[in-house]
Every structure is written in structure tokens, then in C-alpha cells.
Amino acid sequence: MNTNMLGTEEMVAKRGLRLLRMLEDHPQPLIQLSPEDRVLEYNPASVPLLEAWRWTAFTEAPEMVKRLAKAARARGEQVEMEVAVGTRRYTLVAVASSDGVVGLYGREITTRGLESEPRLEVAGGDVSKPSGGPERGDALTGLPNREVLVNGLGRLLERAVERGGRVALIKVNIDNCRDINAAYGHRFGDEIIRLIGHCIRDHVGERDLVCRDAGDEFLVVLSGFAERSSITTLCDALLAAVPYRASGAGLEMQVSLSMGFAVYPEDADSAETLMEHANHALSEAKNAGRGCWRDYLSAARANPLISGSHLCRRLLEALRHRRLRPFYQPIVDAYDGRVAGFEALVRWQDAELGWVSPQEFIPVAEARGLAVEMGRQVAGAAMEQLGRWRAAGHEIGVSLNVSKRSLMEPAFVAEMRALLYVRGLRAEWVTLEATEQQALLHDATCREALERAAASGFRMALDDFGSGHSSFDMVADLPFHELKIDMSLARKAKSGRGRRIVQSILEMCRTLGVESVVEGIEDERLAKVLRAIGASRLQGYYYARPMPAEAVMDYLATKGTVASADAKATR
Ligand code: C2E
Ligand code: MG
Ligand code: MG
């Protein structure tokens, strides 16, 4: 055996070990074949098959298995055959990796006895078996792809209504698939996607449809169930079947699923909304910590606003009529409370929903592609106000929150300049706030937009510093003029250790010539502490809550603005 072969075998054996741990509890036969058709690994559920074939690690694979493996390697896609072992019948699916290793996945079909049952037909064909050709099937899992489902779902719903039946759509997401790819490589990640696809397929009936949606997501369409509880039972069974554990390279990771489902016709009135609502339920499952399922109905009941399509429609309407408007919260001098500028914070009062919090509608705007338009309207309104304040002689600035979507827009900086230009304003009066997450150092497009905006004269601020994955690199490497210390970190300044941390951040800002603003000041005590450790700008309810534009002039009249000698710092 040459060393090259040994290397391959070692690699295969290592991977086999990792897989073995994951697969041991799988209820269906799973066998891994070496490039030479030897058994590398098998799980306990494979034993009846191996015994019937008198196939061991020391004997050759049965002829039909060899043929199946050969076909899988040659075609580079999944092939399957039916085999009978005593009274049991299995569908044996073979999938080859590029290194010649073949995974055999058995699916027992003995007990199904559903051949006479109606099969799911979509897009004019039978797709309940994962045998779709390249244009309809997903190459990795052999399952039908999203397109098949999208094309056929409408018709399926129509037929369900005709028969007085219901259809459930479950959206399944593999938690942390990206991390698994990063830790163990894409091939291993693919293996997991493939296995989970088959596991889902194994858990549903023959006439139900399992599709690979995209990446690490699957869509399951169930029909012919009587109670909603059948769906939750299935979700529970899937959760129980997939607590896989991936291990290797001194690292162990859990593989789990999150699921969300919605049912037609009670939760949705069309294929489109059914998809949307299953999606919302999945988001709720993710928000709840992953590794669980959520039912659209209860998720919507717990939080009526997650009936997102409704919220989205209202938001669209609001944007169309320009009903969103910013409120303004002052950013003040830590010593005398005079105003250096205002942060514009978007507000929405809907005729039907009442006041909707930005935490609720901003994510919807981001998800539905409305964030750029929202940002544009807020920026326009805030610059309008800035023009008024300036015209009244107040030398203050305005801060705008900029979403990642806006930063990614090629015309973003040009549009912002145009907004300034038509009002005769200067870029240095406007601060653009990007949050840590948005300003990801490694995102070249964002980085470039930040640099272009700074080069155009806008002041740039890094918002919510200390709330997430704070990185000092960001302050050093990107053109920020201001650092906004998040209220979660600011609160820690009340204790000795936290105070020293905030103090060193303030000192770092001074050393770098970066302005600092501490957010979320709710009481005099915290304001005093922060003054004592050198904070120069503060913002929070203690000074003022965000106020409508009409209240700003009065506020300015009572508090005054930072003296023109200080004005340099606000630019
Ligand atoms: P942010 O930019 O960090 O804004 C500060 C948030 O803290 C605001 O919440 C503000 O009302 C709140 N806040 C200020 N002082 C205090 C305080 O003393 N105590 C407490 N508990 N909260 C305080 P808001 O208005 O709900 O906005 C939340 C976030 O939504 C903002 O965080 C910002 O990231 C985003 N946002 C707001 N307006 C816009 C906008 O026009 N465009 C974009 N893209 N995002 C926006
Ligand atoms: Mg902000
Ligand atoms: Mg902030």
C-alpha cells in the first residue's frame, strides 16, 4: 500500500469515526463504503442487512451493492434501488463523495404499504421520491428542490380545499451549519445536510413532500393529517432524531434542528403567505434559542405583530405615505447639559396598530427590503430639521442610524450628499452611525462605503460599542470620528471594575482623537460617575427622551447649545 493510499484511508477512517458517533442512534441502516467497496462504518440499524448478506468488514460487498456504489461514483449523483431482506424491504440509496467513499442509506419500506395511497403530484409529476433529474432535484440530497415546491404548492392547496383537507408547511433549519462548515469543512457540512435530508424523508409519509430549500434549510409539505398535533408529533420526532454530535480536531459541536410550521387554510390564505408564515414560525424558534419548533398560530398569538405580512403591509403603506418620522434625542455636554446635537430615531404610529416599536418594525423592514427606503425618508426628514435648526442659529449636528442595507447601496453616499446639497447643508454637521455588526471589518462593501462617506466629509460613528462583539480593530482601522458606548456597558460603570473598563475606553478615544458618547444615561448618579472618569458627551432619558421635531426648538431654547468654541468637537 503506498503512502498516498494510507493517507486517504487515514482520512477516511477519521471521518468515519466522527460519523459513527453521529449515526449510531439513527433508526435506519447507514453504511459507509471505502473506495474499494469495503465496509468502513455501519450503525446498529444496518446489522439485519449485513447479517442477511453475510457481509462483514473482512468480506467483499454483495454484487448488487457494488453495482450500486459503482453507479453512484460514475454518475456523481444519488442512485437508489430496492432490496428485499427476508420479509423486509428497503430502498437503498447510494451517494458518492468525490474521494470515492460511498454512503448507503437504507429506508425500510416494508411497513409503509402506502403504494395504493394517492401520491403527491406537483408540477405535473410525481415528486415524492427523491429521484428528480438535475433540473428538478437537488444534487446534494437528491430531494426535490425549492422550485418544485414553489411551482406545485398553489395547486396542492387548491386540491386540499376541494377535498376539505389541510396542508402543513414545515420549514426546517439546521442550526449552526455554517459553524460546522467552518470547523470541519464543507464536505462534512454537506454530509450532514444529506443525512438530515434523508432523516426527514424517513420520518414523513410517502405522499408527503420533502424539499431542500436552500443551504441548510428544508421544506416539508404534509397533507392528509387530521389534527395539528400530528405535525407537532413529527417535529418532536425530528428533534429527537437529530441530536447529532460532530466531533474532531479537539472540538465537539451539536447538530440540531429548528423548525417552524404553518397550516393552510387556517394560518394562511395562499401558498405565498403559507411560506411566509412558516418562515415566521421558524424565526420564532430561532429566537427561542434554536433546537426547537414553533407553531405559527401560537407564535402569532404570543406576538400578534409577527403576523409579519400584515405588519409588512402596514409598513409599506406607511412608507408610501411617508408616515414614518424621526424623533430626536439630544446628545449633551457631560458638564453643563448643553446640546451638541440630536440623534434621529425613527418612530411609527400606525392608525391600526398604534405605536410600533423600532425593535419590531426595523427587523421587518430589513427582512423585506424596505430598510433603504426607510433610511432615505428618515435622513430626508432629519436633514430638513437640521436646516431649520441651523437657520435659527443653533450650531448643532444631527446623527443618523444607517443600516447595513443602506451602506451596501452603491448610490448611498451620493444620495446623502444630494440630500445635503438641496438644503445647503454641510456634511460635517451630519454623523452617520453604524453599529458594530453592520460595520463588519471584513465586509469590503461596507468598509468601502464607510470610507467614501468619511471622505465626503460626513462624521462617522461606531454605535452600540460594547454590546456585541466589540473590536478595537474597528476603531483603529475604520474612519470613525465618534464611538458610542452602549448603555449595557455604560451601566457597568456603576461598579469599580466596570468603571475602570469604561474609563480605559474613554481614554483610548482621547488618545485616538475620537469623540466618545455614552448612551443610556437614566440617572444623575451614572452621569456623575461618567463625568468623573472623563466622559464628554452623554445621551439618555435622564436628559431627555426622544422628542418630536416640534419640541426641539423649545428644548434648545432652555438648554442652549455647546458654545461655538466647543463646536469643533461636534463636527
Ligand atoms: P441606537 O441607535 O443605539 O439608539 C438608542 C436607543 O436607545 C433608542 O432606542 C433610544 O430611544 C434608546 N434610549 C436612549 N436613551 C435611553 C435610556 O436612557 N434608557 C433606555 N432604556 N433607552 C434609551 P430606539 O429608538 O428604540 O431605537 C432602537 C434602535 O433602533 C437604535 O439603537 C438604532 O439601532 C435603531 N434605529 C432607530 N432609528 C433608526 C433609523 O432611523 N434607521 C435605522 N437604520 N435604525 C434605527
Ligand atoms: Mg444610534
Ligand atoms: Mg446605540
Instruction: Report the topology of domain 327-344+371-561.
Output: TIM Barrel (3.20.20)
Residue 10 has pLDDT above 80, yes or no: no
- Selected from 3.40.50.2300, 3.30.450.20, 3.30.360.10, 3.40.190.10, the CATH number assigned to the domain covering 1-117 reads 3.30.450.20
Q: Whose CA is nearest to atom 17 of ligand 1?
A: 520
**Which residues crowd ion ligand 3, with CB under 5 Å?**
463-464, 519
Q: Residues spanned by CATH 3.30.450.20 within the chain?
A: 1-117
Where residue 28 falls among pLDDT bands split at 50, 70, 90?
confident
DSSP structure class, residue 145? B
For the segment 420-461, what is each residue's pLDDT rounded down to a tens digit? 888 889 999 999 999 877 656 567 888 889 999 999 999 999
pLDDT at 132: 38
- The number of the ligand 1 atom at minimal distance from the alpha carbon of 521 is 18
CA neighbor of 552 nearest in space, from 383, 340, 389 = 389
Q: What is the pLDDT of residue 9?
A: 56
319 pLDDT higher than 60: yes
Q: Give the residue, 256 or 221, on which the prediction is more confident.
A: 221
- pTM of this prediction? 0.56
Cβ(144) – ligand 1 distance below 6 Å? no
Q: What is the pLDDT of residue 115?
A: 31
Task: Give the model's confidence band at 516: pLDDT under 50 very low, under 70 low, under 90 confident, else very high.
Answer: very high
Q: Which atom of ligand 1 is nearest to the CA of 345?
A: 38
User: In this predicted model, what pLDDT tens digit does every residue of 341-388 receive, in sequence order?
Assistant: 999 999 999 988 889 999 989 988 887 778 888 999 999 999 999 999
The model's confidence at residue 15, banded by pLDDT at 50, 70 and 90, is low
The angle that helices 186-203 and 228-241 make with each other, rounded to 10 degrees, is: 140
| Grid cell in block for residue 35 | 473506495
Rounded Cα–Cα distance for residues 539 and 519 (Å): 5
CB within 8 Å of 124: residues ≥ 6 apart = none
Q: How far is residue 57's CA from residue 462's CA, in Å, rounded to a whole number?
A: 60
Compute the distance from residue 180 Cα to the ligand 3 centre, in Å. 32
Average pLDDT, integer, range 213-237: 91
Q: Which residue has the higher pLDDT, 365 or 23?
A: 365
Banded model confidence at residue 320, pLDDT cuts 50, 70, 90: confident
Q: What is the pLDDT of residue 3?
A: 33
When pLDDT is averaged across residues 193-201 and rounded to a whole number, the result is 90
Atom 11 in ligand 1: residue holding the nearest Cα:
546
pLDDT at site 557: 93
* Distance from the alpha carbon of residue 283 to the mean position of ligand 2, in angstroms: 25
pLDDT digits (tens, 9 = 90+) for 249-287: 556 677 889 999 999 888 888 898 899 899 989 988 988
